[in-house]
Every structure is written in C-alpha cells, then in structure tokens.
Structure 1
Amino acid sequence: MEKIRWGVLSTANIGRTQVIPAICRADNAEIIAIASRTDKVHAAALELEIPKAYESYEELLDDPEVDAVYIPLPNHLHKEWVIRSARKGKHILCEKPIALNRAESEEMIAVCREHGVKLMEAFMYQLHPQHARVKEIIASGEIGEIKLMKSSHSFYLQNRSTDIRMDAARGGGSIYDLGCYSIQAIRHITESEPVTVLAQGEMDPEKGVDLTDLVHMTMDSGVQALFDCSFDMTARNEYEVVGTAGSIKVPFAFRPDINGHIGTVVIQKGGVTREEKIEGDIYRLEIEHFSNAILTDSAPVITADSTSKNMRVIDACYESLKTGKKLVMQSDNQFIPV
C-alpha cells in the first residue's frame, strides 16, 4: 500500500505521545522527519525511531521526501507555519483551533488552495464512529425532534505559571483550548449554525485568559445549544442530545482514547436505557483519513468551510465575553449586540 510520508513540526507533547505513535499504527502513513528549534530534536527522533531530525522547521519543509506535515505548535504560530508549509507544497494537518480568529483562518485556507495542498483542522474526535452512530439514531427519528444539545469539556489545569494555555498572547484560554470542541460538535451533530451567541465566563485577573465559560447558542435549525468549558473543573468530555421522545448521551465524546478507545452511546427513551459500545482509535483514524484524502485527492471530512465557520463562532464567543452582550450573527461575519 502506498504511504504518505509525514513530518512533524515541533516536539510538542501531543505529537510525541499521541499523533506520532498513531502515524506508526496507520496503514497508509509513515513518519520520516521531525523538527524543532533546538538540538533536543535528536533525542526525540531517537526515542521515537524517526529517521530524520532537523534543528529548524524550514529544513524539514525543504525536505522533498516529506508529503505532509502535522503542526502542533502554539496557537499563535499556526497561521505562519501553515502558510509556510503550503508554500513548500506540503499537505497540512494543523492542531485546533486552527487560528486565533476567522480572518486568519480564511487567509490560511486561501494560501493552501492557491498552492494546491490539503488542510485539515485536527478535530480527531470527529473521526470516531460513535458520532456517526449518534447522527444515525437522530435521523431514524428514535428520539423525536431535536430540541436541545448540551456539551461539557473541562479539566483542572496544573502548573498555571508556566502552561502555555494561560498565555493570552499565544492563544491561551478555555474557549480556544476546550470550547472549540463543543462548538464543532454542536455544529456537526445538529447540522446547523448559530444565529445568536451569548457567552459568560470567569477571567484570570493576572493572565487575562478565560478560565471558565458558559455559552448559549440558538441554532438556525431552532435547536437550543449550551456548552461549558473550564480549566477549573474536574475532567469531563461529554455531550447530550435531547429530543421530544428521548435523549442520547455520549460520555466520552472528545477523548474515547482515555476509555480504551471505546465510545459509549447511551439512549434513553420511555424510561428504558440502551447502551451501545463503539470502538475507534481516534488518532489513527485521523491520520488514515487525511492520508487517504491526499492519496485519493478527496476532500477531508473536516472541510475548510467548516473550519472557517467554527472560527467565526469562536470569534463571537470572545466578543460576547468581552462585551457581556448577546450577539446576533450576520452573514457578512459581523455580530450585532442585542
């Protein structure tokens, strides 16, 4: 089987512990290079059994054998290195959130299109088959008409004095780090976009980043949506879809890998509960899906349009958080406070 040859920009923890091992597990991919800005990259390459180690990102991008790159750099560097990678003809899997705002994301998407390379935001959770099963149950009518979707994603953040997620200048904050998943899941599962957004939250007074957020959205389908995200709560990664006849709960929505790669879909209807277990290696599925998109010249399931729309909602959340106002979403990317 033909394989996509991957390079990774940085020795970030998520790359070393999750994505690079997933590339090694994938049937249609192989890892051939890793880059960092220090000589520590050589130890990382040795540990991970990666053939090539570069002490600069530019050197890796100049390697003609690299077909695609994975970018787990800090959020504020995504735009620069996606654009540089695209200009070198590399296909790109970029960590979420793909940018700091919608304008950045659209510039990145435009450059990728100009250079004929594929770009996918790394919402690995969506590749797990439990979500397709949720949509299948909804489409069957089993739980009736959907009225509400709720999503929660949190963990208690340690070492706040040094963690990059507490650095506002580098794209820190709970909505950027966690809320982006719930926004994407709500849009994906309900197949609709928000028409109003109201966000409330708690800010760290010294760091200037949001620690906890509660967001209400009215979707254009009429569904009401709520999500919370936090660096100040116990670990949760779940959503619930409530219909007129029943409900669906997904307790390991965003991180089924911490449950042995087993997703759980709990259907409640008429006082009866049914539980379905669904297996899926999310990081491997992500790598295999994007590698296949490159090999077959097909569109990734997480499209550029979806990525841009997700950033639009993130922009609205932060604007509402700043102003304290409910915002009405406009088609020209503007928000009207009400």
Structure 2
Amino acid sequence: MKFGILGEAKIAREHIVPAILAAGHEVTHVGRRNPGQVPLPSIYKDAIETDYDSLLSEPSIDAIYNPLPNHLHVPYSIEALKLGKHVLCEKPVALNLDELIKLESVAKESSAFFYEAYMVRSHPQWDWLKKLDIGKHQSSHFIFSYPQQPADNYRNRAQDGGGPLYDIGCYAILSGCLLFNGSPEVLSASAIMNDSFDVEKQVDASLKWPNGETLSFTVSGSAALCQTLTLLGSNGWAKLNVPVNPPEITHAYWSNGGLDEGNKISFPPCNQYQLMVHDFVTLAESGSKSDFSLSTIVTKAINEIQQATGLSV
C-alpha cells in the first residue's frame, strides 16, 4: 500500500513511517504546511514533498496517515475519505461528538476505510490481560504522565485540542473499554490548570461501566514520566508495567492474591506500531467498514469530564 503522510510530525518520523516501511509498504509523499523550506528527514528516503491539499488529491496514494494537531484530525480526514483515501488518524480523532458524527457520516458514504491509531490495541499484552483469569473484574487504576512540553508544542494550546485529557486521557478511557463492556458514566472528575498555558496540567477521574467495574485514572502533562495500569479481580490482580508505550520487550505481573511481586510474564519482542499498520492495511484491503464505536465512547467520556471540571469542550 502507498502511504502519504499528512504533516511531518515527530510520531510520524520516529514510529509510524518506520512501521509502514517495516510492514512492507511505501511512503511516497509527505505533505507539509510550508514545503521546501526545510529538508525532509532521511527516514522519508525518496518521498515527494508537497502541501496538504496536493497530498490529498494525489491519485497514486492509497492511504493517508494524519498526525496533525488534534483540531485538524476531523477536517483533513473527511477530505481524504471524500477523495477515496483510506485514513489512519492519530488519536483522539475528534474533540467533540458533533465532529465525530460528521466524520462518521462521511465514512459511511465512502468506499475508503477509517481507523483511529490506537496502537495499544495491537499489542499482545492487552489480549493477554483481557483473557487472564483473575475472577470477575472489579476495578482498574491507570496513570500516565510526562514532563512539561516546550512552549510552542500544540499540547499547550486549548484551541488546538491540547492538554493531557485529550492527549493521553483517551488512552486511560480506552483501557477501560478494552477490559469492560459497554459505555461508562463519569462518577467524579477534577482538573488542575497549567500555570503557564490555557490547558489543564492534570486530570483525575473515576468512571463506572454498566456491569459495575470502575476505572480511576490520573493523566498529567506536567509531572515525572510514568505509566502503569493495575487491574483488580475477585480472585487476583494484574499489572502492566508500561501499558501505552512499552519497549520492544515488556513485562507484566499477575497473582491470584498476595502482596509479593507476583508471577512475571515476558511478551515476545514486537513493535506495536508495525502491528497496527498491518491491522489497518488488512482491514482496509478486505473492505471492512469503519467502526466508530470506541471513538464515540472515548469522545463522550472526555466531553463529560470536561463539563464536570469546567474545561472547554
């Protein structure tokens, strides 16, 4: 499959482009806001540099990867779908449900396939965790934080869909969706605003799923780097060491009860981005219909947390 990259983003050059190439596909075009001003990094090899609109209309491209700032995910994904391009779009796909409904409507009328780039869905540690027998799932606890980003980073601008709730809170909510069934309600939420920018620096929230399972999470864009997830069951517990950005070889721990380290499991070496690209291409080439069910649950929960904490929607 021939890919066009919509924006020369860090995640594109460090993760997605290498994953596309390793999966046996091509990156033929790169769209930039101001093409020709700065040379493309070497990872793009012989890819043609162009602007956003020319990239979308290029007939030789089969699929678009959209890693633009969050507020540009929906409009450019809509244009790509209208032009018959498959779309792999960074998370969170939409800032609100109105945006998401517009995108879903276009996707239903398009012959192309849309997929939100939650690479964690492709990592085997999540399949292992869902199948692990620790009794009835009762609650999970999720933490994801990273240090303050440079001033010019879009994560510091509310108008661009910045802030850790959009950026990594989506992973927290998704973790509950992967483990529990149905759509959650927000039980409580609080936000601490950033001292220097018009976005939150930390959000804490608790959500409850229809069968009674709960998720409590903390996400921060101004703290020490940290990731962890613990799942509690009626007959045991499990812990993912690095739930979102695991290294090539990662570990998990589980127990049927006890205060020691538990049983250690090491997963086979893998690249979750490459696995995601493989899943995306397989679904697109098989004619699969775009599925927005997870996107709807996550977006709805984010918006409800924003309303509960006074953050802008």
TM over 0.5: yes
SS in 1 for 2:40: helix
Match of 1:48 in 2: 44
Match of 1:111 in 2: 106
Instruction: Give 1:193 deviation, angstroms.
Output: 2.0
Query: 1:283 and 1:224 mapped to 2: Cα distance?
Result: 28
**Residue of structure 2 aligned with 1:220, choices 204, 210, 213:** 210
Per mean C-alpha deviation after superposition, the further-off stretch among 198-207 and 242-251 is 198-207
1:155 paired to 2:151 = no
Per mean C-alpha deviation after superposition, the further-off stretch among 35-44 and 148-157 is 35-44
Match of 1:63 in 2: 58
Instruction: Give 1:207 deviation, angstroms.
Output: 2.3
1:31 paired to 2:20 = no
Q: Deviations over 1:28-82 (max 9, x none)?
A: x22111110213477216552043221x111111111100000000111111101
**Residue of structure 1 aligned with 2:253, choices 266, 276, 283:** 266
C-alpha contact (below 8 Å) 1:41/1:53 kept by paired residues: no
Query: 2:90 and 2:37 mapped to 1: Cα distance?
Result: 20
Do the aligned partners of residues 151 and 47 (structure 1) sit closer, same or farther apart at CA in structure 2, a change above 3 Å counting?
closer
C-alpha contact (below 8 Å) 2:237/2:257 kept by paired residues: no
- AA of the residue aligned to 1:122: A
Q: Return the TM-score normalized by structure 1.
A: 0.87
1:165 paired to 2:151 = no
Query: 2:287 and 2:107 mapped to 1: Cα distance?
Result: 14
**Residue of structure 2 aligned with 1:144, choices 135, 150, 155:** 135
Match of 1:322 in 2: 310
Which segments of 5 or more consecutive residues in structure 1 lack a partner in the other structure?
Answer: 324-338
Match of 1:333 in 2: none
Match of 2:294 in 1: 306
> Where do residues 224-263 of structure 1 align in structure 2 (5 Å cutoff)?
224-256=214-246, 259=247, 261-263=248-250
Query: 1:171 and 1:297 mapped to 2: Cα distance?
Result: 31
Do the aligned partners of residues 131 and 116 (structure 1) sit closer, same or farther apart at CA in structure 2, a change above 3 Å counting?
same
1:275 paired to 2:271 = no
Query: 2:198 and 2:8 mapped to 1: Cα distance?
Result: 27
Q: Deviations over 1:205-230 (max 9, x none)?
A: 55221110110111111012101100
Q: Deviations over 1:188-243 (max 9, x none)?
A: 11223212332101012552211101101111110121011001221122211101
SS in 2 for 1:157: coil
Match of 2:172 in 1: 182
SS in 2 for 1:215: strand
Do the aligned partners of residues 107 and 235 (structure 1) sit closer, same or farther apart at CA in structure 2, a change above 3 Å counting?
same
> Where do residues 11-26 of structure 1 align in structure 2 (5 Å cutoff)?
11-26=8-23
Q: Deviations over 1:129-183 (max 9, x none)?
A: 110001111xxxx311111111111111232x22210101101111001111010
C-alpha contact (below 8 Å) 1:34/1:45 kept by paired residues: no
C-alpha contact (below 8 Å) 1:238/1:251 kept by paired residues: yes
Query: 1:75 and 1:180 mapped to 2: Cα distance?
Result: 12
- AA of the residue aligned to 2:128: R
Query: 2:37 and 2:44 mapped to 1: Cα distance?
Result: 10
Per mean C-alpha deviation after superposition, the further-off stretch among 277-286 and 40-49 is 40-49
Match of 2:186 in 1: 196
Do the aligned partners of residues 45 and 84 (structure 1) sit closer, same or farther apart at CA in structure 2, a change above 3 Å counting?
farther
Query: 1:249 and 1:287 mapped to 2: Cα distance?
Result: 26
Structure holding more strand per residue = 1
Q: Deviations over 1:237-260 (max 9, x none)?
A: 22111011110100111001xx2x
Per mean C-alpha deviation after superposition, the further-off stretch among 288-297 and 43-52 is 43-52
Query: 1:298 and 1:250 mapped to 2: Cα distance?
Result: 31
Between the aligned residues of both structures, percent identity stands at 26
SS in 1 for 2:179: helix
**What RMSD, in angstroms, separates the aligned Cα atoms of the two structures?**
1.7
- AA of the residue aligned to 1:34: V
